[in-house]
Structure 1
Amino acid sequence: MMVATHGFQRARRPEQIEARRCAILDAARAMLGSKPVADISLRELSESVGLAKSNVLRYFDSREAIFLEVLDENWVAWLDGLSESLTPTSDDSPFAAEIHVASAVAESLVSQRLLCELMSVMAGVLERNISADFARDFKRRATVNSGRFASLIHSQLPHLSEGDAAQFAKVTLVIVAGLWPTAEPTESMVVVLNEMQAPPASDMFAFGLREGLINQLVGLSARAATRTS
């Protein structure tokens, strides 16, 4: 399929470049609404925005760089929502605060399908085909996002050290990345899971994420208590 690129003019002014980048990101977001990132090629993405692949690559390093940009904006938006939704609990029973915070984090992530999907392929796929300059910039932003998440956890659980909160932030990403593939099984696997009378995959993801985060946060708090006793 040939791409209709007649009338294409290279964006030269900063506002033109930004507008072209936004158009490409809009196309990527729209496609991610109907298919997983693994099924979206650079050719297909280029065609959807009406540009040749070479023209898309004038604005982004690669297909992977485009999706990392989408990941970053979803990461920031999730943190914005989480900062507003995290509230203290009045339950003062042992580890109630940790369970409350971990459950709130898990619930907020379950509602962020796209973020979870992109996190699940971040290290293994999306970071494999980018330049050093883009990698440096993305890692800087990812570090800021992770640090912001750790600060939110520390503000809710001040008895945890900043290092412990940072560790929880890192482990959260690992747990999401590990569990997410099970949330969207293939058609064949759905048949098998139904035969086994297993819960829906989405329910198993939500349960596994909540339990994993609770165990991590309770464990970190228990270790912190032994250091101060």
Structure 2
Amino acid sequence: MVSNDAKRVMPQRARKEEDKEARRRQLLDAAMALYQGSSYAEVKMADVAERAQLAKGTVFLYFPTKEALFLALLEERLFAWFARVEETLSRGEGRWTGARVARVLAESLEGEESLTRLLARLQTVLEQNVTEEQVRGFKERLLEAVVRAGALVEKRLSFLKEGEGVRFFLQVHALVTGLRQMADLAPVARAVHEAAPHLEPLRVDFTRELTDSLTTLLRGLEAR
């Protein structure tokens, strides 16, 4: 039988956990809103606190470093993307080809510029000033997601050998990282391109180039 004291404590604890999650959500939403309108370097922790309408010290209670905050942001968006990809690969009807898989993956990243920009900073920035515990948790979840998605790609493309689905998603990551960096022109470079139309061949259309690169990759694996 639960005592009256226990009955009083349990709802209080639940409310405290709800409050913590609500504050964490406020901070993540504020950081993403700021990031979408600027760059990683321009977003300050003080600005995040101000936008979330919380004290500056509150940010550091939940995220000890800026990298920890943005790694948490990346986690949310990345695993949400994996969930959508898994659903598409599981339910898609008709014949699956390498070209179709390439197109599906590239198009799934349309409108996800914030995700691809964060992915481009994962190894060089976001994993540099965080705890081993946070990185380990992220890597464990990432492995699970990559294994699931890799198995679905292997199921759709019979020419892939066991385990190649995982390697394929690692290659997707590499292509996304490189192409996003190439597609994002600095203001001065953008001005140069606008003033010199003959430089147009150097511009990178992220979705088109990712689609073509993944298609070429999968065609090569099929032709072995």
Q: How does the TM-score come out when normalised to structure 1?
A: 0.80
Distance 1:205 1:26 in 2: 26
Residue 41 of structure 2 corresponds to: 38
Residue 102 of structure 2 corresponds to: 102
Distance 1:166 1:156 in 2: 14
Asked if the contact 1:120/1:180 (under 8 Å) is kept, the reply is yes
Residue 49 of structure 1 corresponds to: 52
Residue 216 of structure 1 corresponds to: 217
Residue 141 of structure 2 corresponds to: 141
Asked if the contact 2:159/2:221 (under 8 Å) is kept, the reply is no
Alignment of 1:1-229 (within 5 A): 13-86=16-89, 87=92, 89-90=94-95, 97-194=97-194, 195=196, 196-198=198-200, 201=203, 204-223=205-224
* Gaps in structure 1 of 5+ consecutive residues: 1-11, 91-95, 224-229
Q: State the SS of the aligned residue for 1:162.
A: coil
Asked if the contact 1:150/1:162 (under 8 Å) is kept, the reply is no
Q: 1:120, CA displacement in angstroms?
A: 0.7
Q: 1:131, CA displacement in angstroms?
A: 0.8
Q: 1:48, CA displacement in angstroms?
A: 2.1
Q: 1:111, CA displacement in angstroms?
A: 3.1
The alignment yields a C-alpha RMSD, in angstroms, of: 2.4
Distance 1:31 1:122 in 2: 18
> How many residues are paired up?
207
Distance 2:84 2:192 in 1: 36
Distance 1:77 1:135 in 2: 18
Instruction: Write the deviation string for residues 105-156 of structure 1: whole angstroms up to 9, x where unpaired.
Output: 1121233211111111111111111011111111112222222321231231
Residue 6 of structure 2 corresponds to: none
Distance 1:16 1:193 in 2: 49
Distance 1:210 1:129 in 2: 33
* Gaps in structure 2 of 5+ consecutive residues: 1-14
